[in-house]
Amino acid sequence: MKHLGIFVFLSLFLTAHSVVKAQEEEKSKGEKKKIYTFLIDDNIDPRMNRRVQLALEDAKNKEADLILIEMDTYGGAVNDADDIRTMILETDIPIHVWINKDAASAGALISIACDSIYMASGASIGAATVVMGGGGDAAPDKYQSYMRSMMRSTAEAKGRNPKIAEAMVDQNIEIEGVSAKGSVITFSVSEAIENGFCEGQADSKKEIIEEKLGIKEYEIIAYEISGVEKVIAFFLNPVVSGFLILVIFAGIYFEIQTPGVGFPLAASITAIILYFIPYYLTGLAANWEIAVFIVGVILLLVEIFLIPGFGIFGILGIIGILVGLTLGMIPNDAFDFTFVPSGELFAALVTVILAAIAAIGLIFFMAPKVNQWRAFSSIALASTQKREEGYTSTLYSNNLMGKEGIAHTRLMPSGKVMIEEEVYDAYSRGEFIDKGEKVKVISTEGTSLKVKRLG
């Protein structure tokens, strides 16, 4: 009887254990792993830095179980690569990288920071020597030393050979059986696997997930650019940036020509905001670059409104505006352009210069016609009240017609003139006339004298 009780107890225990185990297995089958994926498929720069930051934050918010990065890059700026590898090292979620073609230079550093590396057939990793922005000559040794230290410490953190990581940067490091002196290391798939810089070959993300990581039940969550980011990307387009620069210049000019109207100034300020904010958010436009632009505008306004002629303030103002607009578009470090791709610097210069030229052309074309627009006439008096139509002004006598005098203030194009020791309101035909220049009255209609410059 005693043995029978023990038998029944064991049978019930085993049955209950089997039921619980079956329930746990069923539960585990029903829970899909969340696999978050995003691309690093362009230059490593502030824009890519921002993309990675947003993707990692989104993966955390969506409680991803692991992250799979698809990599194909020739590298980029060292400071941005450092930011990205730091973010990866500090992320609690396991991060794997699939190199589907190239992970060169900064791409190699970022790959080594991941928990595991997988490579497609024909892919490569290495060649992490820091080069100048043009992609030719090696950067100064201080940059090489910085890159070597990052590669070494990152490899150590992930259990990879730190000496090999350094040899990907420094051609003077010789590793027996791996690399000869005089050449930096670039591994093929098989070489990377053999030397511990790749966990295996895989030709698709599905192969990595199902075969290499052994995950059967999963859902893929791909990083999607938000609406705000799409708007930012739109305004980063050089064509759009060029249009905004045109609006900035034209708006400032027409506001000076028609003081008090307000619309041209509002358009110019709006264009400035839309120009700088996207570049600021992506880390391209620094505070000092925006400050240089603002100081340039102030100097130009001081030259126009307060100082006769066009001298040092005007020249410095124009330089400040052009420098602020140009540097705001590129990933420079103050006046260090070591890691700025020459193509990006050229594109920024061309965009700003062409937009400025287009603005000047637009100003000369539109200035004589602006008063003819119906939309403009609703906010400004654009028509001439002619004497023969019944309009007269008793402010000035016809005796002033043809009189000569001097500009009592600067005419831009309105101001004051002095004729026979009397001061009158006046305006020019559109040109600026400096204080003290000789003028001649060519019309007495309206509430101001119309004058022209003499000689």
CA 307 vs CA 158, 299, 410, 428, 451: distances in Å: 64, 10, 9, 18, 21
Do the beta carbons of residue 267 and residue 247 sit within 8 Å? yes
CA–CA dist 254, 450 (Å, integer): 19
Domain 387-453 in CATH 3.40.50.1700? The answer is no
pTM: 0.69
pLDDT at 1: 52
- How far the first Cα of the chain sits from its last, in Å, is 132
Residues 13-70 have pLDDT tens digits of 555 556 555 555 544 445 789 999 999 998 888 889 999 999 999 999 999 999 999 9
Residues (pLDDT < 70) of the chain are 1-30, 132-137, 257-261, 308-310, 366-397
Residues 313-345 have pLDDT tens digits of 888 998 999 999 999 998 887 887 777 777 788
CA–CA dist 230, 223 (Å, integer): 13
Can you state the angle between helices 238-257 and 263-281, rounded to 10 degrees?
150
Residue bearing tokens 């759009």: 240
Residues 267-308 have pLDDT tens digits of 999 999 999 999 998 888 999 999 999 999 998 888 777 776
Helix H, strand E, coil C: the string for 155-222 is HHHCCCCHHHHHHCCCCCCCECCCECCCCCCEECHHHHHHCCCCCEECCCHHHHHHHHCCCCCEEEEE
Question: How many other CB atoms are there within 10 angstroms of residue 125's CB atom?
Answer: 27
State which fold the 30-222 domain adopts.
2-enoyl-CoA Hydratase; Chain A, domain 1 (3.90.226)
Residue bearing tokens 């900035």: 248
CA–CA dist 139, 141 (Å, integer): 7
CA–CA dist 273, 26 (Å, integer): 56
pLDDT at 362: 78
Span(s) in the chain for CATH 2.40.50.140: 387-453
Do the beta carbons of residue 75 and residue 45 sit within 8 Å? no
pLDDT at 312: 86
Span(s) in the chain for CATH 3.90.226.10: 30-222
